[in-house]
Amino acid sequence: MLMARQTHVSIKTPEEQARMRVAGRLAADVLDMIGEHVRPGVTTDELNDLCHRHIVEAQGAIPAPLNYGGGGGRIPFPKSICTSVNHVVCHGIPGDRRLKAGDIVNVDITVIKDGFHGDTSRMFLVGKCSLQAERLCRVAFEAMWEGIRSIRPGTRLGDLGHSVQRHVEAQGYSVVREYCGHGIGRVFHEDPQILHYGEPGTGLALEAGMTFTVEPMVNAGRRHVKLLPDGWTVVTKDHSLSAQWEHTVLVTPTGVEVLTLGAADRTA
């Protein structure tokens, strides 16, 4: 999501970590639920409505994006999820667009439960997609995991960013630099900024108890993006495809815990 100024990084207590686990699991459950509905002919607004009802009615939670932000002439985000299709990099606003076979779409979910946020997104392939689109989505997924696997106490943010950038650029793709991951907890977007590029050995050293998102945005073409007049939707300048995956993670004393694993990937 949007970059934030780095000032203070919170260390979550064991109780706060437990609440983050609950929120993270709920966010992942929404993505598990919506997957079967992402198919040709559905509108992104219909996906939004399904997710909204599931979050509010089934989970007793709050969709964090709804009415988020605003100010400075920008309207608050008007929907409960983000749906970013094809060349949309992030923050796509659900609407009356119908998905068609060959589209790729990122569905980004953030829920608030008992005052804590869980934030995660996945790419979905709509019907039969091109090999190029499939490869882009796979590389973006791998890049996210390269970053996650680098996380442990003492890792510097430059190490994390470099691990993502190295994997993406080795595949001939580019990493978006204007938008990044972020700290998360009681606040949707808090410190630190999690850049998905960087120099090894630079930046903040991670500590156990930190929680943040890893969410590289990977473009098939050049890295440059532009913001549309709606004040939210970000697209690639060259109209090339873009893909993104996202997990919320917790730095543990020995490594990292992913808080937003889907049901198929959980061990407990």
Q: Whole-angstrom Cα distance, residue 196 to residue 179?
A: 9
Mean pLDDT of 120-147: 98
Report if residue 5 sits inside a domain: no
Q: What is the pLDDT of residue 8?
A: 86
CATH of the domain at 235: 3.90.230.10
User: Residue 188: CB partners within 8 Å, gap ≥ 6?
Assistant: 1, 64, 68, 110, 117, 119
Mean pLDDT of 258-265: 97
Report if residue 6 sits inside a domain: no
Mean pLDDT of 65-70: 93
Report if residue 1 sits inside a domain: no
User: Residue 82: CB partners within 8 Å, gap ≥ 6?
Assistant: 65, 90, 91, 92, 93, 94, 106, 107, 108, 121
> Where in the sequence is the domain holding 73, given as residue range(s)?
14-261
pLDDT confidence tier of residue 3, bands split at 50, 70 and 90: very low
Reported as a single tens digit per residue, the pLDDT across 161-220 is 999 999 999 999 999 999 999 999 999 999 999 999 999 999 999 999 999 999 999 999
How far is Cα of residue 187 from the mean position of the Cα atoms in its chain? 15
Rounded to whole angstroms, what are the CA distances from 212 to 135, 151, 184, 258? 26, 11, 5, 10
Report if residue 268 sits inside a domain: no
Helices (H), 85-217: 131-149, 157-170
Count of domains forming the chain: 1
Report if residue 131 sits inside a domain: yes
Tell which wins on pLDDT, 221 or 73: 221
Q: Whole-angstrom Cα distance, residue 251 to residue 174?
A: 27
129 within 8 A of 38, measured Cβ to Cβ: no
116 within 8 A of 110, measured Cβ to Cβ: no
Q: Return mean pLDDT, the chain.
A: 96
Report if residue 267 sits inside a domain: no
Q: Is the pLDDT assigned to residue 244 strictly greater than 70?
A: yes
pLDDT confidence tier of residue 116, bands split at 50, 70 and 90: very high
Q: What is the pLDDT of residue 6?
A: 44
Report if residue 160 sits inside a domain: yes
Report if residue 2 sits inside a domain: no
Please report, to the nearest 10 degrees, the dihedral formed by the alpha carbons of residues 98, 124, 31, 186 taken in order. -100
pLDDT confidence tier of residue 2, bands split at 50, 70 and 90: very low
Please report, to the nearest 10 degrees, the dihedral formed by the alpha carbons of residues 92, 97, 99, 103 taken in order. -50
Reported as a single tens digit per residue, the pLDDT across 15-58 is 999 999 999 999 999 999 999 999 999 999 999 999 999 999 99
DSSP assignment letter at 125: E
